[in-house]
Amino acid sequence: MKKKVLVTGGAGFIGSHLCRRLLSEGNEVICLDNLYTGSLDNLADLTVQPDFRFVKGDVREAFDYKVDQIYNLACPASPLDYQRDPVATANTSYLGAIHALELARKRGARVLQTSTSEVYGEPLIHPQKEDYRGNVNPIGIRACYDEGKRMAETLFFDYHRQYGTDIRVVRIFNTYGPRMRQEDGRVVPNFIMEALENKDITLYGDGNQTRSFCYVSDTVGALIRMMNTEDITGPINIGNPEEHTVREVAEMILEITGSASRIIHCPLPQDDPTRRRPDISLARKQLGWNPQVTLRKGLEETIAFFR
């Protein structure tokens, strides 16, 4: 059935891929974005489609659309971006969640919150399961994002318990792919741009900290499955359980690009997690979802985009 769908943050990296996928499946899509980190370039081929509508707006202010489903993606996700204005970041998570939930209540819509692996902080258990409560520094430089997302989860479940709001919560682990910004500041775009320009590749710390990288098409597929699965609220981890050191990623990018870049080291940023890998048992069981794109294949596609 054709649905009317609102995607907040839909001009961003993951959001633009989600809008595209929803349209391809025959839905009507409204994209709400203030373009703080999103870009109209990500939507250039969508604006001519009759079932797509872009609205420049901020989730910190109330919004109202007649929709069946709401995907709440609005929030800067890169430390470089969210630390630039930490108060705005916290408000985007908190007020954005309230406004998305209020719209869901008013319209009887289903609403999905894209939370983050950052709710686990510097994890004391490995891999991270959904019942782990996390180890987050509430006053650190990353807290505006970490605690903002934790508060959004709280609101979603309180609205569900108090008002019966039809919610879904996913915790997204590192996602990468085409349409990431060159100046995003995260590992994959940083390494790719440095490699393509034959600049030194900067590793923070010794490079042995680990991440799990999920290609964007896999992440978007999981979001849509989560939205359209009945009798489930989450939270559910969405990510690739294959763990790689940051050094391994840098070396793979050097190999694929044929770059002459050298690897150099800088101090590890404050509160930067040293290990991160999702346990996706719940996603496999309840959604029938498993990532399909290998890291090498995903990096090849992403590097081709950046070229």
Question: Which residue numbers are catalytic?
Answer: 145
Residues 130/169, Cβ–Cβ less than 8 Å: no
3-state secondary structure of 13: helix
**Closest to 242 measured CA to CA, from 290, 203, 195:** 290
Rounded-to-integer distance, Cα 276 and Cα 144, Å = 19
Give the residue among 25, 122, 33 at the shortest CA–CA distance from 71: 33
d(CA 136, CA 145): 11
Closest by alpha carbon to 163, among 104, 237, 84?
A: 104
The number of residues in the chain equals: 307
Amino acid at 29: V
Give the sign of the dihedral formed by CA 272, CA 273, CA 274, CA 280. Answer: negative
Beta strand 263-266 with 201-204: parallel, antiparallel or unpaired? parallel
User: Pick from 77, 5, 74, 78: which is nearest to 46 by CA?
Assistant: 5
Dihedral sign for Cα atoms in the order 139, 144, 147, 151: positive
For residues 186 and 260, the answer to whether their CB atoms sit within 8 Å is no
The residue type of 271 is D
